[in-house]
């Protein structure tokens, strides 16, 4: 194809370089990567121009030449670009990602040593100078580096090749292969310009440049499955390739370096396989822990609902009695003896409940002093008898802090299928019966349909919420977080709303409690996470460098998949962990503190910011401020903020909180700023950030005043 040689091919290279160079100039996101890629393509265009207009006109045509210097520099820049892309694809690379990248790089290097280096050296004429040898080895070495770096990119992206990454993959691999072919032809003396391979080389540059303008595919499942490359399959495949190379090396004379690289690739692949097995075991253990109450060792809400759902799916197994039990005056006991002794009481209660029930019964702890017992295959009378046995076992005197305490309980009973036909409805009705028991003094109450006329509606409400989530009726409003000193918007808090077809726009407190008790918080959080990160990525693409805050419930935090879910959403949106802050209430730390701390540590590994929301409304704040190294900041509860104007005691509390936060290097956000007077008080106390109706209500994404500069306090 001689018409592809010369000016046309040079024009294609130049156009590709221009397209790539425009990306970092016009779009700030991933600017360093695109700048390095543009530099690589520009250098390649210069190399071709040098060859076309200078080198090929010399007689004889020199090798190596100035064009080779530019081609090699282009490869170096491409390697640098891929290293940056790998870093940007994973804010905090895991051990598995690094082992995948290392294994893949070693396999590629071993294959090159076996099949590429030796033939190239054999093709060199006997009198070849050192410069020829160096250049002939530099080309394949850089191609190996390109392939290895790109494997690192794929590993960091969890082996999901789509959108711009798909185009980058095609362009990078085409360049690596074609460069190796060209150097092989040059060494053999068979290289000719203007061939189909030359056309493919120009096309590869064009594909790389086009990747800069391909829209990212941001649509993702809310609950993505583990990608195959992050598990056992990929390291086993690399190990098999390594073993195949070792077998080939045993049958064919190859260099010692090739054997060493192959052996290293196999060794690292085996280490990666072992690590994957270890991680799988750890994940299995986490899933068990995620279904176990930390304090008592009983089943938790998730385990209870799973067992209930499994049982109600098989009504032929017989009826189910469900007991909802609450310890009377437990809060007073907690305050009297302290948190640690109260936990000891809960452990004793759990042990006695297990001892007084059958082996087939399931005892669960749902919250502080809320317990549930699932009684499979019982009649209503047998369920009532079981409830009385449990209550009697708990009434035995318990020695606490040198004194004796008698534990009394209230119990609610609901029966399947008489009172409810699904797990959520049955639990809800048992809790309604428990409420009756608490109102009428310690004892047992059976669910009575006439007393609870709204109970039958709950299942329909849950189904309607499930339908709403699937129909994408949940939408986000955003409230700006303001720099109180400069007046600019520095971040937004994402707040979920339900756009109900009949009832209109519902606030969170109108449906989140239902989602919590129905086990739908994972779906709600997934929707909020993916919608908000996509929106933040769009704002970043339009040059609005903001942070994002999302609220996390106890249920969300104790989900073992949460850190991976967050990391996946950030990767899909092209964001770093530092762009996201998760807001946690102090209830998180009171429920299961050790598991909460472990989850926070995993989130911190992804560089995700963590703050305590509604700070000051719990009673254990100071201990968690001391113990949680991953904590980044506090959000002052609006109750303290609203009382600043004309309340010296409130001002003293806020001032001391700010002083404490500064001493611990924690960032503070004041919420609920509604008046200029409160704004001034916060500014005078040195509070750096705030949000509230004074600046903006929560509004849809297209109404957020991103470019606004709000009035600042006049120092005069």
pLDDT at 716 over 70: no
pLDDT at 272 over 70: yes
Give me the catalytic one of 671, 674, 684, 703: 671
Would you say residue 327 lies in a domain?
yes
pLDDT at 693 over 80: yes
Residue 586 in contact with residue 617, Cβ under 8 Å? yes
Would you say residue 227 lies in a domain?
no
Q: Looking at residue 694, which CATH number applies to its domain?
A: 3.20.20.450
Q: Write the pLDDT tens digit of every residue in 516-526.
A: 777 788 899 99
Per-residue model confidence (pLDDT) at position 455: 44
For 664-691, letters b (16+ CB in 10 Å) and e give eebbbbbbbbeeeebbebbbebebbbbb
User: How many angstroms separate the CA atoms of 290 and 306, rounded?
Assistant: 12
Planar angle of CA 560, 562, 568, nearest 5 degrees = 130
Distances from the Cα of 197 to the Cα of 178, 191, 201, 295, angstroms: 7, 10, 6, 67
438 with 574, same domain: the answer is no
51 with 144, same domain: the answer is yes
DSSP string covering 316-339: GG--EEEEEEEETTHHHHHHHH-H
Q: Is pLDDT larger for residue 366 or for residue 649?
A: 366
Q: Write the pLDDT tens digit of every residue in 326-356.
A: 998 787 777 667 777 888 899 999 999 999 9
User: How many angstroms separate the CA atoms of 419 and 422, rounded?
Assistant: 10
Residue 155 in contact with residue 229, Cβ under 8 Å? yes
Question: Count of domains in the chain?
Answer: 3
User: How many angstroms separate the CA atoms of 565 and 214, rounded?
Assistant: 25
177 with 314, same domain: the answer is no
Q: Chain centroid to CA 415: how far?
A: 40
406 with 486, same domain: the answer is no
User: How many angstroms separate the CA atoms of 605 and 93, rounded?
Assistant: 9
User: How many angstroms separate the CA atoms of 267 and 239, rounded?
Assistant: 8
User: How many angstroms separate the CA atoms of 271 and 258, rounded?
Assistant: 20
pLDDT category at 94 given cuts 50, 70, 90 is: low
User: How many angstroms separate the CA atoms of 426 and 588, rounded?
Assistant: 26
Per-residue model confidence (pLDDT) at position 393: 92
Give phi and psi for 436, each to the nearest 5: -65, -45
Alpha helices in 358-501 (DSSP H): 380-394, 423-439, 455-470
Of 215, 250, 271, the domain-final residue: 215
User: How many angstroms separate the CA atoms of 469 and 410, rounded?
Assistant: 35
437 with 483, same domain: the answer is no
Report the run of H or E that residue 204 belongs to, with start and end. helix 196-211
Q: Write the pLDDT tens digit of every residue in 9-59.
A: 778 878 888 888 888 887 666 788 889 988 988 998 898 888 888 877 777
pLDDT at 111 over 90: no
Domain with 626, as residue range(s), is 477-493+510-703
User: How many angstroms separate the CA atoms of 256 and 112, rounded?
Assistant: 13
Residue the block writes with tokens 């209830």: 587
Would you say residue 331 lies in a domain?
yes
Of 200, 215, 230, the domain-final residue: 215
Residue the block writes with tokens 């092209």: 574
Helix, strand or coil, per DSSP, at residue 666: coil
527 with 430, same domain: the answer is no
Would you say residue 294 lies in a domain?
no
pLDDT category at 203 given cuts 50, 70, 90 is: confident
Q: Write the pLDDT tens digit of every residue in 577-635.
A: 999 999 987 666 655 667 777 888 888 888 898 888 877 555 444 556 666 666 788 88
pLDDT at 501 over 50: yes
Would you say residue 263 lies in a domain?
no
Q: Looking at residue 423, which CATH number applies to its domain?
A: 3.30.70.270
Per-residue model confidence (pLDDT) at position 436: 82
User: How many angstroms separate the CA atoms of 203 and 2, rounded?
Assistant: 16
pLDDT at 229 over 50: no
Would you say residue 466 lies in a domain?
no
30 with 120, same domain: the answer is yes
Mean pLDDT of 640-655: 75
User: How many angstroms separate the CA atoms of 628 and 612, rounded?
Assistant: 11
Prediction pTM value: 0.50
483 with 447, same domain: the answer is no
pLDDT at 236 over 90: no
pLDDT at 221 over 80: no
For 28-54, letters b (16+ CB in 10 Å) and e give ebbeebbbbbbbbbbbbbbbbbbbbee
Mean pLDDT of 114-137: 68
User: How many angstroms separate the CA atoms of 526 and 509, rounded?
Assistant: 18
pLDDT category at 469 given cuts 50, 70, 90 is: very high
3-state per-residue secondary structure call for 65-82: CHHHHHHHHHHHHHHHHH
* pLDDT averaged over every residue in the chain: 81
Would you say residue 169 lies in a domain?
yes
175 with 320, same domain: the answer is no
Of 215, 235, 267, the domain-final residue: 215
Q: Is 486 left (phi over 0), alpha (psi -120 to 50) or beta?
A: alpha
Q: Write the pLDDT tens digit of every residue in 533-563.
A: 999 999 999 889 999 999 998 778 878 888 8
From the list 273, 271, 249, 274, the residue with the least C-alpha distance to 260 is 249
User: How many angstroms separate the CA atoms of 187 and 480, rounded?
Assistant: 63
User: How many angstroms separate the CA atoms of 110 and 452, rounded?
Assistant: 72
442 with 529, same domain: the answer is no
User: How many angstroms separate the CA atoms of 420 and 457, rounded?
Assistant: 11
428 with 483, same domain: the answer is no
- 510 a catalytic residue: no
- CB atoms under 10 Å from CB of 288, counted, come to 11
Would you say residue 716 lies in a domain?
no
User: How many angstroms separate the CA atoms of 670 and 689, rounded?
Assistant: 6
pLDDT at 649 over 80: no
What is the percent of the chain where pLDDT is above 70?
81
690 with 605, same domain: the answer is yes
């Amino acid at each position: 194809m001689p018409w592809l040689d010369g000016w046309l091919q040079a024009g294609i290279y130049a156009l590709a370089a221009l397209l790539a160079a425009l990306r970092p100039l016009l779009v700030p996101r991933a600017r360093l990567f695109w700048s390095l890629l543009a530099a690589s393509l520009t250098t390649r265009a210069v190399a071709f121009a040098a060859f076309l207009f200078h080198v090929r006109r010399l007689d004889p045509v020199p090798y190596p030449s100035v064009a080779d210097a530019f081609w090699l520099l282009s490869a170096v820049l491409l390697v640098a670009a891929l290293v940056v892309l790998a870093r940007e694809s994973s804010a905090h690379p895991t051990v598995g990602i690094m082992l995948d990248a290392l294994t893949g790089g070693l396999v590629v290097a071993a294959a090159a040593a076996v099949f590429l280096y030796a033939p190239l050296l054999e093709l060199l004429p006997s009198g070849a100078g050192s410069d020829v040898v160096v250049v002939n080895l530099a080309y394949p070495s850089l191609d190996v580096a390109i392939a290895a770096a790109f494997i690192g990119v794929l590993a960091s992206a969890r082996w999901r090749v789509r959108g711009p990454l798909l185009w980058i993959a095609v362009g990078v691999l085409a360049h690596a292969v074609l460069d190796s072919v060209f150097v092989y032809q040059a060494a053999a003396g068979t290289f000719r310009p203007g061939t189909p391979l030359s056309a493919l080389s120009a096309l590869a540059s064009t594909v790389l440049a086009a990747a800069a303008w391909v829209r990212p595919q941001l649509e993702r499942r809310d609950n993505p499955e583990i990608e195959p490359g992050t598990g056992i399959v990929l390291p086993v495949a690399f190990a098999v390739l390594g073993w195949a190379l070792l077998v080939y090396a045993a049958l064919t004379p190859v260099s010692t370096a090739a054997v060493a690289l192959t052996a290293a690739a196999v060794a690292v692949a085996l280490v990666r396989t072992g690590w994957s097995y270890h991680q799988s075991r750890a994940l299995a253990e986490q899933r068990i822990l995620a279904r176990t109450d930390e304090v008592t060792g009983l089943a938790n809400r998730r385990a209870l609902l799973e067992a209930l759902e499994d049982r109600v799916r098989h009504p032929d197994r017989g009826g189910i009695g469900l007991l909802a039990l609450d310890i009377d005056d437990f809060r007073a006991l907690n305050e009297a003896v302290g948190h640690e002794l109260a936990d000891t009481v809960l452990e004793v209660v759990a042990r006695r409940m297990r001892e007084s029930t059958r082996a087939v019964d399931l005892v669960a702890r749902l919250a502080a002093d809320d317990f549930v017992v699932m009684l499979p295959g019982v009649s209503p009378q047998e369920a009532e008898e079981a409830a009385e046995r449990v209550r009697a076992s708990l009434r035995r005197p318990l020695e606490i802090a040198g004194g004796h305490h008698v534990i009394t309980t209230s119990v609610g009973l609901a029966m399947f299928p008489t009172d409810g036909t699904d797990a959520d409805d049955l639990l809800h009705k048992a809790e309604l019966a428990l409420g009756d028991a608490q109102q009428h003094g310690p004892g047992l109450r059976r669910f009575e349909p006439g007393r609870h006329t709204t109970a039958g509606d709950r299942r329909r409400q849950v189904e309607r919420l499930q339908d709403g989530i699937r129909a994408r009726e949940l939408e986000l409003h955003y409230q700006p977080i303001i720099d109180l000193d400069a007046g600019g918007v520095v971040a937004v808090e994402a707040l979920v709303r339900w756009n109900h077809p009949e009832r209109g726009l519902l606030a969170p407190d109108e449906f989140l409690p239902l989602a919590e008790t129905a086990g739908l918080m994972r779906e709600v959080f997934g929707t909020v996470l993916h919608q908000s990160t996509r929106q933040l990525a769009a704002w970043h693409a339009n040059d609005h460098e903001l942070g994002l805050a999302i609220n996390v419930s106890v249920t969300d935090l104790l989900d073992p998949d949460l850190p991976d879910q967050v990391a996946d959403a950030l990767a899909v949106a092209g964001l770093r962990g530092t762009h996201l802050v998760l807001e946690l209430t102090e209830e998180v730390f009171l429920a299961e503190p050790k598991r909460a701390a472990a989850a926070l540590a995993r989130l911190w590994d992804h560089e995700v910011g963590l703050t305590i929301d509604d700070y000051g409304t719990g009673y254990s704040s100071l201990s968690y401020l001391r113990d949680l190294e991953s904590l980044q900041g506090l959000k002052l509860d609006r109750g303290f903020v609203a009382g600043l104007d004309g309340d010296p005691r409130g001002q003293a509390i806020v001032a001391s909180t700010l002083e404490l936060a500064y001493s611990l290097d924690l960032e503070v956000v004041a919420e609920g700023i509604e008046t200029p007077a409160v704004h001034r008080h916060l500014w005078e106390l040195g509070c750096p950030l705030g949000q509230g109706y004074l600046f903006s209500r929560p509004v849809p994404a297209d109404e957020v005043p991103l470019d606004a500069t709000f009035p600042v306090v006049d120092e005069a």
